[in-house]
Chains A and B, each alone.
Chain A
Amino acid sequence: MWTFLIKDLLLFWRDRKEVAIIILLPLALVVILSLVMPGMFGEGSEEEYDLDLALVKEDDQERSLELFEDHLRQTSDLSNNEIEELLIGVRAHLPVEGLIEYLNSPELAEWVSVEAMEKETAQAEVEQGNLDGALIIPEDYSFQLLADMYLNEPTEQALSFQADDQTMEVEILSNVIQSYLDHMNLHHAISSAGGEVEVPSEALPQGQVENVEGQQSFSMDQYFTISMGALFVLFLAATVATRTGIEKRENTFKRIVLTNSPPLYYLFGKTMGTFILAWCQMMLILIGSHLILGVFSDHDITVWVGLILMATMYALAIAAISAVMTSVMLRLKNSETGDGIFMMVIMVFGVIGGNFVPIYLLPNWLQQIGEMTPNGLVLATLIEWIQYEDFSILVMPTVILMIIVIVSLFIGVKLYPKRGDVS
């Protein structure tokens, strides 16, 4: 079994120039493109928004607090001491104050400029299109929010966000605000369970600014790095199949058949060989593009756990698929036919998997089909992973890739020709 692997690796080694090119190509491509199209990469890649927002504050904090205190004394059965303590906590982190602070924070200041205004002026400005939107904090909103948070009484009045037209920016901003509030609620829930109160704004995820749902965003260069990696691993598998074609043409495969070697041994060499190369290729492009271009520089080490896990699983899956290709190749009369078929399959996989065109530009149904290809699945998963870094994201894809591995190996063995002369 290892004999076959050693042989295959030795053959790769003899052809090291070509193999090195195949392995390094995606990395080279990413680096070159980043030089040619600097705008697409690095810092400049995040879209720049510029938003003018009016802030209409009809809510009076002090009044709200007094209302809240009265309300507490009337409705809750807390002791005086407890109420005092609670109020100290509330004062330390006034929710509306926090929101305004957040809107004025340096992170948001980069793309949102906030101006305090009267309601009428603000509405007029928005209507005239001088402002992108107006955030109106209604009277006694703080009180209602506190009542909602601490006493679970539903709010009657909501924040209102007015905008003339529903642009992307406005959408994002309203989402940011919503998620801030959600976060505060959640935070309150956690802190009242655990007893300790933290400053919500500190706990906000870093990149919340840029994204609709409040998670960290991904950038074009990350997308590109992963999609190129996934795509070229497919090409690698095709290369291995081509080599099988050579083995057939050189008749060495006949000899192998004559030795009574179990099919699995031969396929093992091919599969393991593919796996090793594919893995190296994935690692090279992920680590290489990070070192050269700093693609993952605003992530910590956790992101690498997911990247490496998925890259490894992906390399395994493609290696197993290469076993199928190998067997098909051995069965075909003409190895050029095989090369052609595999190239076509790879192109189709590449396109619907989003390796050529960003997946979110494709129609929905195609995206769904795309995620059924291993490359599309890995791409989608890793993009999600980069944003959330939640391990539960990785579970399903890992299982699916594992199934692909098992099924492919099974098919590969089944298709392996029993006799050498398959012509």
Chain B
Amino acid sequence: MLETVQLTKAFKGKTVVDEVDLYLDQGESVGLLGPNGAGKSTTISMISSLLKPTSGDVKLNQKSTIKNPVDLRKVLGVVPQEIALYEELSAYENLKFFGRIYRVPKSELESRIQDTLEIVGLKERQKDLIKTFSGGMKRRVNIATALLHNPKILILDEPTVGIDPQSRNYILEMVRQLNEQKGTTVLYTSHYMEEVEQLCNRVYIMDHGKVIAKGTKSELLSILSNEDTISVQPNRIDEEFLAAVKKIEGVRKVEVSGEEINIIAKKVSNIVSELVNVGERHQVQILNFQMENPSLENVFLHLTGRTLRD
């Protein structure tokens, strides 16, 4: 239904989105994952016709939308990463304004506003000015505004950054329902693995402007099928110890996160005892030790050598 072809964007010669190919089928829920600065928002801006690509194309039903994005805009609901609302207007006034300029028929507008407010759970606060809202509530109105005209495709750019877990769950659940019950096609951007794992059928992983991996969750996890992820908590971490760990046979990646060391290693049986040995040699005690079920986070680590949020 919607696809990008070799989508590229360069700012002053610096390529921030590099030949990205994505597609969205009708009714799908697709995740776009990547660390800060990966180029997710830039990609989304181009898809939603707000930013002109340096090269490449965005196609809706096989038709290019670059020259004339009118049809695309009609079916698109975009939730920008930043709150895009009039702070000095109430939630209701914001919705009414955007509803009208989205040409929601007058007879339906009132009920559409109330419905979307219901969906985002802010019916009671609709008369309050946006500037009096909490971050989470603003995010929810931000989403509601994109839903007014019943978009076929909903694009959300990190709709959950900087908000409390409760609002976050609420939003996730809301998007899931829109996708499952109304058949809305969803493109969901995040750097939270859990969200994407929970919500999306398929995932694209971006880093440095490139799609570095794609597929369903199980497809992506199979990248790690012949590897183990081990989380080790030593009593102290020093460079020599880390260097030694890296030298253990079969170890592919070593990552320090807080007090823990994440290790990706080939499925070899003696990795655990090797670790203990190395520890002893460097007077490091292994306090805790865990073999993890691989997650998309691990996939990312595997592919880039970095965690998503570093």
Contacts and interface: CB of A to CB of B under 8 A. Distances in A.
B97 A257 contact: no
B45 A421 contact: yes
A254 B73 contact: no
A3 B87 contact: no
Contacts of A11: 86, 88-89
A259 B102 contact: yes
A17 interface: no
Contacts of B84: 250-252, 254-255
A102 interface: no
B237 interface: no
Contacts of A255: 78, 80, 84, 98, 145
A251 B82 contact: yes
A15 interface: yes
Nearest to A420: B50
B48 interface: yes
A256 interface: yes
B85 A260 contact: no
B276 interface: no
Given A260-B73, A265-B101, A250 B87 contact: yes
Most buried by A among B49, B50, B51: B50
A259 B83 contact: no
Interface string B174-218: 000000000000000000000000000000000000000000000
B100 interface: yes
B87 to A, nearest CB: 7
Contacts of A258: 48-50, 73, 76, 78
Given A251-B82, A255-B145, A259-B73, A10 B89 contact: yes
A364 to B, nearest CB: 48
Chain B contact residues (Cβ within 8 angstroms of A): what range? 20 to 34
A250 B48 contact: no
Contacts, number: 66
Contacts of B50: 254, 257-258, 419-421
Nearest to B102: A259
A4 interface: yes
A7 interface: yes
Interface in A55-73: none
Interface in A239-296: 250-252, 254-261, 265
Interface string B46-85: 0011111000000000000000001001101010101111
B78 A7 contact: no
Interface in A368-423: 419-421
B133 to A, nearest CB: 14
B86 A252 contact: yes
B115 interface: no
B93 interface: yes
B85 A250 contact: yes
A252 B93 CA distance: 13
Contacts of B97: 3, 6-7
Contacts of A250: 83-87
Interface in A1-21: 3-4, 6-7, 10-11, 14-15
30 contacts: A4-B101, A7-B86, A7-B97, A10-B89, A11-B86, A11-B88, A11-B89, A14-B88, A14-B89, A15-B88, A250-B85, A251-B83, A251-B84, A252-B84, A254-B80, A254-B84, A255-B78, A255-B80, A255-B145, A257-B49, A258-B49, A258-B73, A258-B76, A258-B78, A259-B73, A261-B101, A265-B101, A419-B49, A419-B51, A421-B51
Interface of B: 45, 48-52, 70, 73-74, 76, 78, 80, 82-89, 93, 97-98, 100-103, 129, 145
Instruction: For the complex of A and B, list the 10 residue pairs with the smallest distance between their C-beta atoms, beginning with the closest.
Output: A251-B84, A421-B50, A14-B88, A421-B51, A420-B50, A3-B100, A259-B101, A259-B102, A261-B101, A7-B97
